[in-house]
Structures are given as structure tokens and as C-alpha cells.
Homo-oligomer: A and B are copies of this chain.
Amino acid sequence: MAVTLSDVADRAGVSPATVSRVLNGNYPVAAKTRQRVEKAIRDLDYVVNAHARALLHATSGMIGVVLNDLADPFFATVASGIQSAALPMQRLVIVCSSGGDQETEFAYIEMLRRHRAEVVILVGSSPEDAAYKRALAGQAKGLHAQGSRLVLCGRPAPSRHTPAAVVSVDESRSLRELAEYLSQQGHRRIGYLAGPPNQSTSTARRSSLTNALQRVGIRLPDGFVAQGEFTRESGYEATCRLISGGVKFTALCAANDLMAAGAMRALDESGVDVPGDVSVIGFDDLPVATDITPKLTTIRVPLVEVGQHAVAMAFAPESANRRRLLPTRLIVRGSSGRAVGTREARRTA
């Protein structure tokens, strides 16, 4: 069906070995022979069979990426960072979107193992239950035994001994900045739109914020927290629940920008002015943050860089078990300001 290396050899009147040498350019080949071979390749429109090569080399040189949802800009942005770093290394990127389903995720990892992916990158939150961690640790061992490298992006390793590199962000500093900022602006009662329960990202962001607020003497009681699922809709609904529950807050922080966008809409529909009545703060700094009005104050996460570092670490020597933390940054925009009820706010009112 397809043209093979021997076909090329026949047409050029040389042996397969010679064609191979021309292809790889590693061994000396007479100029005349080379030209004849190159012509045959062009004439026949020959394309090497990557599988035959992979069979010899025991690896395919592909980068597998497993993420929750390709259509979510958070993941899409990390993926594009991975892709951009993979291109100059001549690596193909396989993107697998699991939809957040654990079984699908493992099915994809298995498929990537079958294809002897050189690198497997897991992006985003991971469930925090023991069974999952054990299963993942098992896959990690398997990948390692195969000679594939595993990189975890934005999620912790399932255990200390897991042979995996980790690229993550350290949001604690930015959140301390945010806490100080909110405190200075007179905010005392703060609502929080959390991510789905038992997900590493959700708990990390929430506990970091809780700690940061504590440092400035602000508590984040459970009653001020509503769960969502990192989507606009869930942010909208969670905000509605807080409002209809009679929770009084002067600032509303969200676990990501999408939820914050949903919150803005809910507040708007309830006649709450942002930032006049309530300040809204997002997380990630996705494009949506500046699409909405007023523009969203948020914690910028360097998503493209996260992806690029993941690739870099995968190809760095001794990458297993290495960890890399990227800093985030507080971006203050129009959606936040002084709390209502503060002296200053009363004066200007």
C-alpha cells in the first residue's frame, strides 16, 4: 500500500541500507548515490514509517498530554505552551481530554503507554482520594519502567517516591498580597466561590487563601463559601446561592476567572454594583478577565510557561522527582475597590 524504504532502494538501484543512511545522514554516502536516492524519494513520495523506527528505538518521541477539557481556556493555554515547546524539538503532541473522568484518564494513560510516549504530561487537578493516588502511582511506575518520563502540571505527586517531575505554581505569595490589599481596602467579610471538592487545585487555592486572610485577621467561615465546578454557570449559581442565603460580603473571591465571570453576571442581575457594593476577584487571568466589565482583578497564573517548563523538565537530565514552582502575580483591575461601610467609603458616598 504505502511506499517503503526498499521501494526507494530498488528505484535508486541501491541497497535499503544506503537509503537509510541518506535518510539519517549519519554515515558518509557518495554525492552521486545520495542524489539518486533523493530523487527516488521524491519521485515515489516516500515518507518514513515512524512505527518501524519506534520499534527499533523503543520510544516514539511523542509527548502525551492528558487534561480535563480542551475547550476550557485554562487547559487549552497550558496545552499550547506544551505544543510551542515541543515544536522545536520535533515532537508530536498527543492531547487527550478526559472530561475529568478518572477511568477515561487512565484509559488515555494506558493508550499513551502503548504508544511508548517519550513523555506523559498530566495537566490540572487530581482527585484527592487514596485509591486514585495508588492507581496513579502504579501507572507512574509503569511509565518509568518503560522509559517514559512523567510530568505533573499543577498537581502534586501521589507520593514522595513517585518517579515524576512536578511543575506547579506557588500562589501563596500573591494571595498574601491579595489579603493585604483587601484588608487595606476595608474588606472584612469575604465570600468565596470554591472549586469542586476533593480536587487538589480546589483545596490548594482555598487553603492558601484562608491562610493568607488569617494573617490579616480575616476569617473565611464555611457559610461564606459556595462550591462550584470551575465553570461560568456554576459560578453564577454559587453566587446566587450566597445571595439568596442572605450572606453579606463586601468582596467575593473565586477559585478561577470563569466562576468569577459567572459571579459578575449574578451580581449584576441582583442589582449589586461591582466594585461599588462588592469587589470581585478571580484566579488565572484568562482572557475572559478583561472581556468583562469592569475588568477583573485576579491572580495571574503563567499558564503558557507552565506548559513550556513541563516540556523543558521532561527533557532535562535527571528530571525525575524534580520540582519547579512558578510564581503568580496579583493583577488589580476595576472589579475591586474599597469596601462599602468603611469610613472612606461613607465619606465619599
User: Which residues in A have some Cβ–Cβ distance to B below 8 Å?
Assistant: 1-3, 45, 47-52, 54-55, 58, 60, 62, 69-71, 73, 76-77, 79-80, 83-84, 87, 90, 92-97, 99, 104, 108, 110-116, 138, 141-142, 145-147, 232, 261, 268, 287-288, 291-293, 304
Instruction: Tell me whether B288 and A116 are in contact (CB under 8 A).
Output: no
Which B residue sits closest to A104, measured CB to CB? Answer: B87
Q: Which of B55, B94, B104, B268 contacts A52 (CB 8 A)?
A: B55
Instruction: Tell me whether B45 and A51 are in contact (CB under 8 A).
Output: no
Instruction: Tell me whether A116 and B287 are in contact (CB under 8 A).
Output: no
Question: In the complex, how many angstroms separate the beta carbon of A146 from the nearest chain B beta carbon?
Answer: 5
Which chain B positions have C-beta within 8 A of A73? 71, 73, 76
Instruction: Tell me whether B142 and A45 are in contact (CB under 8 A).
Output: yes
Which chain B positions have C-beta within 8 A of A115? 50-51, 92
Q: Which 9 A-B pairs have the closest CB atoms?
A: A50-B114, A71-B80, A95-B95, A51-B54, A51-B51, A70-B80, A76-B76, A50-B115, A47-B113
Instruction: Tell me whether A93 and B95 are in contact (CB under 8 A).
Output: yes
Docked Cα-Cα span, A70 to B138, in Å, equals: 31
Which chain B positions have C-beta within 8 A of A62? 94
Instruction: Tell me whether B147 and A1 are in contact (CB under 8 A).
Output: yes
Instruction: Tell me whether B104 and A96 are in contact (CB under 8 A).
Output: no
Question: In the complex, how many angstroms separate the beta carbon of A37 from the nearest chain B beta carbon?
Answer: 18
Question: In the complex, how many angstroms separate the beta carbon of A298 from the nearest chain B beta carbon?
Answer: 14
Q: Which of B92, B97, B232, B287 contacts A80 (CB 8 A)?
A: B97
Which chain B positions have C-beta within 8 A of A48? 114
Which chain B positions have C-beta within 8 A of A3? 145
Tell me which of A114, A138, A232 has the highest count of chain B C-beta atoms within 10 A of its own C-beta: A114
Instruction: Tell me whether A146 and B58 are in contact (CB under 8 A).
Output: no
Docked Cα-Cα span, A16 to B87, in Å, equals: 38
Which chain B positions have C-beta within 8 A of A268? 293
Tell me which of A71, A138, A146 has the highest count of chain B C-beta atoms within 10 A of its own C-beta: A71
Q: A69-B80, A71-B76 are in contact. Are A287 and B288 (CB under 8 A)?
A: yes
Question: In the complex, how many angstroms separate the beta carbon of A59 from the nearest chain B beta carbon?
Answer: 9
Which chain B positions have C-beta within 8 A of A291? 232, 261, 288, 291-292
Question: In the complex, how many angstroms separate the beta carbon of A242 from the nearest chain B beta carbon?
Answer: 21
Instruction: Tell me whether A97 and B71 are in contact (CB under 8 A).
Output: no
Docked Cα-Cα span, A147 to B47, in Å, equals: 13
Instruction: Tell me whether B58 and A1 are in contact (CB under 8 A).
Output: yes
Question: In the complex, how many angstroms separate the beta carbon of A131 from the nearest chain B beta carbon?
Answer: 17
Docked Cα-Cα span, A1 to B118, in Å, equals: 13
Docked Cα-Cα span, A167 to B107, in Å, equals: 29
Beyond the given pairs A70-B76, A71-B80, A287-B288, 12 more chain A to chain B contacts, judged by CB atoms under 8 angstroms and listed by A's residue number, are A50-B51, A51-B116, A69-B80, A73-B73, A84-B97, A92-B94, A92-B108, A92-B115, A95-B95, A232-B291, A288-B288, A292-B292
